[in-house]
A and B are shown apart, each in its own frame.
Chain A
Amino acid sequence: MGMKRKRSVEEFTTFVQETGAQLHRAALLLTGDHHLAEDLTQATYAKTFAAWSRVSAADSPLAYARTTLLNTYLSHRRLRRNSEQPVDDSLFSHQEVHATDPTTRLDLFDALATLAPLDRAIVVLRYWEDRSVADAAHDLGITQETVRTRSRRALARLRPLLEAHHPGFERTTP
């Protein structure tokens, strides 16, 4: 192994150690599945490593990796759309079945799965990473208005699910 390549691998290893948990958790929130999250995280880091000589010289390698993660996730979802059942139907029917049972717990991943992939990505960026509207728009390559609109729509969808079935979201009296 050449010295430069060895140094690149060492730098990259440090980068993964510093950011791996964060990206993996983001991937988990996006996919809702441990295996898919592992695949997504590794695919992200593989692409990052392939461009490492340039990424490492950038202001924020993490920003590059985050964008790659989002693009890979959204691309993957798009490619899978042919073979997927609409997740909304199954979960809403699930919700209806248990709607009368307030003790039924709804996992947060199930609630997130009711969202369109882009809306889910926006929720993860805005509410998990605390990214601003402007930053989220930049990360996703969409307008700030789109972020706001889709964010409102996503929350409107999540709110009744979580308030009905998730501990800590009980409806509070105004």
Chain B
Amino acid sequence: MNDFDTRLGDALRDRVRGEQPDLRQLTEGSVRAGTRIKHRRTAGIGAGVLAGLAAAAVVAIGLPGGGTADPGPEVGPAAGSSGSSAPTLDEECLERLDDFRVSHGKMPADDSALDDYVNGLGEQEGNPPSTREDQLKAMSPRLCEEPPVEEDSSASVGKQDLPITFALEGWNCDFPADDKFPCSGPNDAWLSFVVRDAADHDYWADDADKGGDPNTVWVSEVHDNYFVSVQGKLRGTPLDDVIEGLTFAPTWER
């Protein structure tokens, strides 16, 4: 650290020293938004699955000691013939049910009303109890499985699918698809950045046509387990600028 570095650090700290967020508002807003994010993870579950979840809720809550982590022996996908390896609807599952209930306007917010609601559904549809039990058996694994950690889908630096980013003034890029992402620039220029396995580098680097594609404008060096090929039309953008705009992660984590 030299003198300028030190002064810069001090100046940055001084500039924001008095800044204080509203922590209560921040917490409440984050919990609400975070809960919505969790719910979106289950958004792919279709209407039929929702009915299954509701049925699962009724059976789980209707168990002896309902609302606790003590599931009955009949709860679980393997219940029935053997019943020996049935996963349990533990407290984590019930927590998710709680989240689910609160997040869906159609669902009553208290357990007894939920019970009535789902029972009503069953009666309306003429489903015998055994059908709801089957639904529970089908649904409980999904209800209890660990949801995936949300990942940003962008190509930004950090935890991402692709180990490179590209940022150059006047250029815009789309989200990655598979192992590549396209970008467009001034004068209808376009480029496609493709992340490739390091084992293929010799083929791409040695071939006069760079992999047989005349649109290939540049091939990077190998970075640990990957390299990048750039294909497209520069249309006036200097290749050096494109290369300068690339950022490489140390490793391609696939």
Interface residues of A (CB under 8 A from B): 1-5, 9, 12-13, 16-17, 20-21, 24-25, 28-29, 38, 41-43, 45-54, 67, 70-72, 74-75, 78-79, 81-82, 86, 88, 108-109, 116-118, 123-124, 127-128, 130, 137, 139-143, 146, 155, 158-159, 162, 166, 168-169, 172
Contact = CB atoms under 8 A, between A and B. Distances in A.
A140 B12 contact: no
Given A29-B16, A82-B172, A168-B11, A46 B98 contact: no
Given A137-B250, A159-B4, 11 more contacts: A2-B91, A21-B23, A24-B26, A46-B32, A46-B34, A47-B150, A51-B150, A67-B158, A74-B154, A74-B165, A78-B167
B91 A45 contact: no
Interface of B: 3-5, 7-13, 15-16, 19-21, 23, 26-27, 29-38, 91-92, 94-95, 98-99, 149-150, 152, 154-160, 163, 165, 167, 169, 172-173, 223, 247-250
Contacts of B92: 4, 53
Contact of A1 (B7, B98, B173): B98
A168 B85 CA distance: 70
A157 to B, nearest CB: 12
A53 B250 CA distance: 29
24 contacts: A3-B91, A5-B98, A5-B99, A17-B23, A20-B26, A38-B21, A41-B21, A46-B30, A49-B37, A50-B35, A51-B149, A51-B150, A70-B157, A74-B154, A74-B158, A78-B154, A81-B172, A109-B15, A127-B12, A130-B9, A143-B223, A143-B248, A162-B8, A162-B11
